[in-house]
Structure 1
């Protein structure tokens, strides 16, 4: 899983949309808008070639972002979602919890919350990097580039 997180961040940098230096308050999703079940393409549990089912539990990663931003991501691969706690002064977000569902990604991991018509949140990670994109109802995209605080390690034996 950690390799997947690491692999995700580099792709996120490639996929980054436009950024802005403008401070803007983004409409935050209401808690009732953030609920919902999302089916993982392999189901909640899946088997690999060795026949064992994987249950990862919750994985917490912390990211430091540009413009004094911070993201704490609690990933739950078994349930197919992540809970992000976002502090982004440039976006007017202060310790906001956003529940996101997994989405298909060509590379890395992608999580989306698009239940609020006023704003869409996308969190794309690869390796130890993450990018938060917030798209407002008028189509403006605000991006925040982040880097994980946990040092990368090699799995070579």
Structure 2
């Protein structure tokens, strides 16, 4: 009887493990970001850009309001790209639109290019 009482909790645990669904973590790891506030930029056409960069500098999360492009607080995650000078981040994951954020010093340019060939870009300055 004592052995039965000892084995009963173990068998319940084993049964619970056997019937529990398993979940796996995604293969891609999220980049670590500094806890500092994002950099604020004011732009032409009453646009604004907030840029937050990963600690390793390989990624930027951009939150932009571009009234002429009908954007209001749109967020785009971009990866570092080759640049002649300054830092350039791009997102070309969509077949419909490409995004680019290029900075040098206190200046930045936010560009959007649609698949139909239309482009929009604004010059920005860090506040």
TM-score (norm 2): 0.70
Structure 2 segments unaligned to the other structure (5+ residues): 1-27
Structure 1 segments unaligned to the other structure (5+ residues): 1-35, 38-43, 45-54, 150-157
Root mean square deviation, CA, Å:
2.2
Which structure has the larger Rg? 2
Residue 114 of structure 2: aligned partner: 136
Greater share of helix:
2
| CA–CA separation in structure 1 for the residues paired with 2:68 and 2:98 | 17
| CA–CA separation in structure 1 for the residues paired with 2:52 and 2:33 | 12
Q: Does 1:92 align with 2:56?
A: no
Q: Does 1:101 align with 2:79?
A: yes
Residue 118 of structure 1: aligned partner: 96
Structure possessing the higher relative contact order (Cα contacts under 8 Å, 6 or more residues apart): 1
Secondary structure class of the residue paired with 1:67: helix
| CA–CA separation in structure 2 for the residues paired with 1:146 and 1:66 | 7
Q: Does 1:146 align with 2:124?
A: yes
| Equivalent residues, number | 98
How many angstroms does 1:72 deviate by? 0.4
- 2:43 pairs, out of 65, 82, 85, with 65
| CA–CA separation in structure 2 for the residues paired with 1:82 and 1:126 | 14
